[in-house]
Amino acid sequence: MSLVQVENLSVRYGAKTVLSHVSLTVEHGEIVTIVGPNGSGKTSLLRSIIGAVKPSRGRVTQSSDLRVGYVPQRLHIDPTLPMTVARFLALPGGVSAPHLGEALAQAGVPDLSGAQMSRLSGGQFQRVLLARALIGKPQLLLLDEATQGLDQPGSAAFYRQIETVRRDTGCAVLMISHELHVVMSASDRVICLNGHVCCEGTPEVVASAPEYRALFGSGTMGALALYRHDHDHAHDHDHHYDHTEAAE
Amino acid sequence: MLDDFMMRATLAGVGVALAAAPLGCFVVWRRMAYFGDATAHAAILGVALSLALSISVFAGAMVIALLMALTVNLLTGRGYAMDTLLGVLAHSALAFGLVAVSFLSGIRIDLMAYLFGDILAVSRMDLAVIWGGAALVVGLISWRWSPLLTATLNEDLAHASGINPKREQLVLTLALAITVAVAIKVVGVLLIAAMLIIPAAAARPLSRTPESMALVAAGIGSVSALVGLRAAYIFDTPAGPSIVCVAAVIFAVLSIAGSVRTSTQ
């Protein structure tokens, strides 16, 4: 069965409806990306999957004993709260030392366990968040704009890390991203959201859908160009940045 | 041993310091300082009511502190900013408390004793209540430590780990009400927030993890109680404020030392 099944979900904040009649499923091992303009309900959708938002209609069903790893959009740690990376990773359940090292290595930051969270750079911080999400050996990884505040090489590297994690652990990934040109190529499936599901399918199908073009306009062409570029030619991944910059 | 009033005062001060330390850390991390203040102010209404109804001051103060904290929890995010809401509720409760006290004909009560505490008059019974309350608070917070810490970091992170941040907030609220109720006799309504915040803030520069900060805060609070009482005895100064003064001096020294160390690194 699916890892997560969202059926006919509606979410309201007071009088404002942010999501109406959204249905989607996430299957084992697939990378699904949610794209959509600001205020389209992307974060609300993710928050209702983790149970932080109560649906006003419809329901969210998780497969039994589903292990979820969640990387929030941003995390502010108050400067009065002392916190080492190792302590942060052990919250709330506790973790063994080898397990901790493994998660940090998977997230690409093997040497940080003794550092203070407040001293990390933006990129290191996001990877530590990813490591924490990986601690529980999740079957489903939820990422809410996990590369916010990173520069383009930084976020491209971050998404490559996600693909590596998926390859190594087999977990499914459901993520929100603004960086269409980066995530389109990495996704198995794209869901275009604007309060409701506008269109969904493989990246190529979505990128050429009229609903998607209506929402994202000319930016779409760049994304599509890069997408095709990535897949039509044999290429060296090390030159990825060059391609990205050239496409803009 | 407990026959000596100084001994009882010292034990009372240390008991409150131990309960206030871990709770105070959460108050600082979650920026709830004003919340602690408001709960404490409301307790004066509880004192007045318990005197009028001839019930224990501890019980009255705790019930009102708890009601106050729950009301604030309930009303936040409904149109008024948190600090406005706390300002309205805290000072109204304090004012109603003071007015209610004046209606208590026949009973002469020393209001100063509740505003600033009367640690030198702590009885054996008070001591039992203080240490019982302190044990309850420390037990409650140790039991919920990891979920509380996770919810303090980020509510969504807590949800994703199957923790309900609202319930954890309730645990803190309950602990706060108990602490306020047991600390009234020791430092009084006006200085309770000082015992919560100052030792925790002073412990920050010395700490690398949340746990060490709570332990160091407990140490600083206890030292403040010991030294403050001694100083009050020697210089004939009011005991509760003397304890807070010592804590404040420790805070100042550690903060300056901390910033010097950071700037020379």
Domain housing A225: 4-67+138-247
Per residue in B91-104, pLDDT (tens digit) is 888 888 888 878 77
Residue ranges of the alpha helices (H) in B32-81? 33-52, 57-75
pLDDT of A245 over the 50 cut: no
Per residue in B38-60, pLDDT (tens digit) is 888 888 888 888 888 888 888 88
pLDDT of A247 over the 70 cut: no
Same domain, A236 and A159: yes
Q: Which residue in the set A72, A82, A93 is minimally distant from B209, CB to CB? A: A82
B165-173 CB contacts, 8 Å cutoff, 24+ apart = B168/B144, B169/B73, B170/B73, B171/B140, B171/B141, B171/B144, B172/B23, B172/B26, B172/B30, B172/B32, B172/B148, B173/B66, B173/B69, B173/B70, B173/B73
Chain A residues interacting with chain B (CB cutoff of 8 angstroms):
47, 50-52, 68-70, 72, 75-78, 80-84, 87-88, 91-94, 116, 142
Residues from chain A that touch B210, judged by Cβ atoms under 8 A, are 81-83, 87
Chain B residues interacting with chain A (CB cutoff of 8 angstroms):
28-31, 146-147, 149-150, 152-161, 163, 201, 204, 207-213
- Please state the separation of Cα A7 from the chain's center in Å: 21
Percent above pLDDT 70 for chain A: 85
pLDDT of A233 over the 50 cut: no
Distance from CA of B176 to the nearest CA of A (A): 19
* Domain B5-192 CATH (choose: 2.30.30.790, 1.10.3470.10, 1.10.10.10, 2.40.50.140): 1.10.3470.10
Distance from CA of B257 to the nearest CA of A (A): 16
Same domain, A45 and A118: no
Strand A189-193 vs strand A31-35: parallel, antiparallel, or unpaired? parallel
A11 bridge partner residues: A19
Distance from CA of B154 to the nearest CA of A (A): 7
Residue pair A106/A128 in contact (Cβ under 8 Å)? The answer is no
ipTM comes to 0.81
| Amino acid A237: pLDDT | 42
Residue A72 lies in a domain: no
- Inter-chain CB proximity A50 and B147 less than 8 Å: no
Radius of gyration of chain B (CA): 18
Same domain, A220 and A123: no
Distance (Å) of CA B54 to CA A104, A190, B46, B48, B117: 60, 68, 12, 10, 20
Task: Give the CATH number for residue A179.
Answer: 3.40.50.300
Calculate the average pLDDT of chain A: 80
| Amino acid A248: pLDDT | 36
Distance (Å, whole) CA A146 – CA A165: 15
Determine which of A45, A76, A91, A126 to mutate to test the interface with B (most B C-beta atoms within 10 Å).
A91
Same domain, A142 and A108: no
- Inter-chain CB proximity A68 and B160 less than 8 Å: yes
Residues from chain B that touch A80, judged by Cβ atoms under 8 A, are 28-29, 201, 204
Distance from CA of A106 to the nearest CA of B (A): 20
Higher pLDDT, B9 or A216: B9
- Inter-chain CB proximity B208 and A84 less than 8 Å: yes
Chain A residue with minimum CA distance to B152: A77
Per residue in A16-31, pLDDT (tens digit) is 888 989 999 999 889 9
